[in-house]
Structure 1
């Protein structure tokens, strides 16, 4: 009789303990696996170590003129962007991107049939026009207003110091004996130079 009483008292305590332990443990979060996948060690960096500093590109952007204000917007390694404002409204975003970190960005220029200032040019959708300088630097104008047309984008692309940007690439290649990064975009042959 004694063992039965003991089991009757112990069984509810064990069941309660089981409920307590399972209730206190947290269910797996649906984002846990995504977090684990995206922060994996040993994966290549999002931005190549060989990418230019964003501040390097500032000197190549167009200057404010007339009613248009060219205002710095974002700068990080391999990228710089400015806003093109008129009367307080943003008409477009102007950007320079070092494609050494994103070789796929270069491939769209390999079949370019148009050029701007001697550089291969493509329209990206209906709101963006870009060109590629020396197979590495993507210069792009993205319309933020419906009144800012493709013609306007081409005009502003021509206001960048494209020759200076092209010399930046040449100067870096001459001063560096380092091997090309495995993440580097393939060179486009021939490298187009601006018409004199």
Structure 2
């Protein structure tokens, strides 16, 4: 009788154990499927192998100036990002990305009607402004503080070394350059190209006059 009672007590436990083993061996879990979808043969690469190294972009970010700190935040192939801080507060994020890894990201600049330093510029929502350099590299400033306005974003876009960035590899899909330029950041006044000093007409000397002895 005692042995029978033990069997009755163990039976539910054995049934649960059998069900657990069956469930584990029945097939891949949803997590296994996700891993297969993202790393399996033939799945698209997250970053284009032709994309520029993120470290290459570091040289083109603005330097710290006038109480603003430009702090490295994130770097990966095809992308680099910095934080713009003042008094410990994050005002904006500064980014450079290679559009070869972001299909369609360069297309929005084809309809650009404004420019920053000669490069097509567009607003992206109400908190971001970007330019497309060399028809390939997207430079963006994204506001993280309500007080950091569009004018501030444009001013900081001008602080990037856009001309230096343009010396990297060539365009993927050339974009038509707009002709209307956004206001440049204030700079010291300088003479306009072609400026000439006024000509002063000297009096003609009488040839009959002789120098005093």
Answer yes or no: is the 8 Å Cα contact 2:114–2:178 preserved in 1: no
Structure index of larger Rg: 2
Q: Secondary structure at the match of 1:58?
A: helix
Q: Secondary structure at the match of 1:35?
A: helix
* RMSD (CA atoms): 2.7
Instruction: Look up the match of 1:24.
Output: 21
1:18 Cα offset (Å): 6.4
Answer yes or no: is the 8 Å Cα contact 2:60–2:162 preserved in 1: yes
Answer yes or no: is the 8 Å Cα contact 2:113–2:178 preserved in 1: no
Distance 1:57 1:15 in 2: 64
Q: 5+ residue gaps in structure 2?
A: 1-10, 182-213
Instruction: Look up the match of 1:165.
Output: 165
Structure with the higher helix share, 1 or 2? 1
Distance 2:177 2:52 in 1: 19
What TM-score do the two structures reach when normalised by structure 1?
0.75
What TM-score do the two structures reach when normalised by structure 2?
0.70
1:187 and 2:173 aligned: yes
Q: Secondary structure at the match of 2:106?
A: helix
31-40 or 111-120, which deviates more = 31-40
Q: Which has the higher contact order (CA 8 A, sep 6+)?
A: 1
Aligned 1:1-196 pairs, distance under 5 A = 20-26=17-23, 29-169=29-169, 173=170, 186-190=172-176
Q: Secondary structure at the match of 2:94?
A: strand
Q: Secondary structure at the match of 2:93?
A: strand
Q: Deviations over 1:69-112 (max 9, x none)?
A: 11111111111111100001110000100111112111111111
Residues paired across the two proteins, number: 168
Q: Secondary structure at the match of 2:129?
A: strand
